[in-house]
Amino acid sequence: MARRVTIADIAAAAGVSKGAVSYALNGRPGVSESTRAKILAIAGEMGFVPNRAARSLSVSSAQAVGIALRRTARTLGIEPYFMELISGIEATLSAGSFGLTLQVVDTVEEELEVYRRWWAERRVDGVFLCDIGVGDQRLDFVADLGLPAVAVGGPVEGARLPAVWHDDAEPCREIMEYLYALGHRRVARVAGLSRLLHTTIRDAAYAETTAVLDFESMTTLHSDYTGEEGARITRRLLSSAKRPTAIIYDNDVMAVAGLGVAHELGLDVPEQLSIVAWDDSPLCRLTHPALTSLTRDITAYGSNCAEVLLTLIGAEAPSTEARTFSVQCRPAQLSPRGSTGPAFA
């Protein structure tokens, strides 16, 4: 509860001005090496830690970035993606002694309002935009605001902000060729929300592949990533006359739910049904059989995003150059496990 020590205390103890203390502490020229050393020593033994608010007010930077999540508590909990992403972001951020401010929102409007407020308050120096949609209005909104932001997903054509993304097309082709090689000809896909950018990218990639390889059928049904929907759609797919011999899920939660439905219907996996999941979280190794999946390192992805945002904030580059910060990550790799096998249909 003791009063906090300020630069004034250090200045008094060292017999110098507050300005000198500031220069010494921030490693800037303006003080001799000997005074700097003395000041540093005193600051150290007094346990000095600069007050954030005062610093922020002076330099007009929050030393923090924000992330707004537009998902329900349930989805956020069950979907390992977000926490892994946040962990990665956070690791890079705290290394740069930046804070992460998090807010959960219900609607886009609310999300935009949060950005406006955060920026007006200077509570954050930048934000991460998750779940990039097709024609996402947030992109222009934050750009107009002048709020530094990075798109966690992409690529975002003509956007005025950097993006960090994975090529989703290549893995789609990889899965399809793999399933084809295993003899599967009737494949189905339980896709994600069709308003999301990566969903449309995958949609297109699968369509391309089926145009090349002669699959008998390739049904795509869109869903909302929840286990309930994943199960419902799987039930429908497996109840059809010519049921698919393989199903691809756009996330792991739905894939696990799909496996549950297969068990429920008495179908052996992979004997009678092969299952492929996207986003290989530990969830995929919890089940029996373990799920074949498309592996990406989401935590590393988060770190990447944070690096780009920090660069963007630190840079004086005009926003038009910001695009050059965009980074494309290594595409997801196929990790074959027990849930896929030859088709015997």
Partner DNA sequence: CTGAAAGCGCTTACAG
Give 101-127 as a DSSP string.
Answer: EEEE-SSHHHHHHHHHHHHHHT--S-E
Helix axes 18-25, 7-14, angle to 10 degrees: 110
Read off the amino acid at residue 55. R
SS3 230: helix
Helix axes 169-181, 197-212, angle to 10 degrees: 40
**CB closer to DNA out of 18 and 71:** 18
Contact flag: residue 139 with a second copy (CB under 8 A): no
Contact flag: residue 329 with a second copy (CB under 8 A): no
Contact flag: residue 4 with DNA (CB under 7 A): yes
Contact flag: residue 49 with a second copy (CB under 8 A): yes
Q: Which of a second copy, DNA, none binds 246 (CB below 5-8 Å, type-dependent)?
A: none
User: Binders of DNA among 24-43, rule CB under 7 A?
Assistant: 25-26, 28-35
Size of the site for a second copy (CB under 8 A): 67
Backbone φ, ψ for residue 317 (5° rounding): -55, 140
Q: Which of a second copy, DNA, none binds 19 (CB below 5-8 Å, type-dependent)?
A: DNA
For the CB of residue 161, give the shortest distance to a second copy in the complex, in Å. 14
Alpha-carbon separation of residue 115 from 112, 125, 129, 161, 202 (angstroms) = 5, 11, 10, 15, 29
Q: Which of DNA, a second copy, none binds 92 (CB below 5-8 Å, type-dependent)?
A: none
Read off the amino acid at residue 268. D
Neighbouring CB atoms inside 10 A of 134's CB total 12
Q: List residues near DNA by CB under 7 A.
A: 4, 6-8, 15-23, 25-26, 28-35, 48, 50-51, 54-55, 57-60
Q: List residues near a second copy by CB under 8 A.
A: 1, 4, 47, 49-54, 56-57, 60, 62, 64, 72-74, 76-78, 80-84, 86-88, 90-91, 94, 99-104, 116-117, 120-123, 146, 226-228, 231, 253, 256-257, 259-264, 281-283, 285-288, 290, 298-299
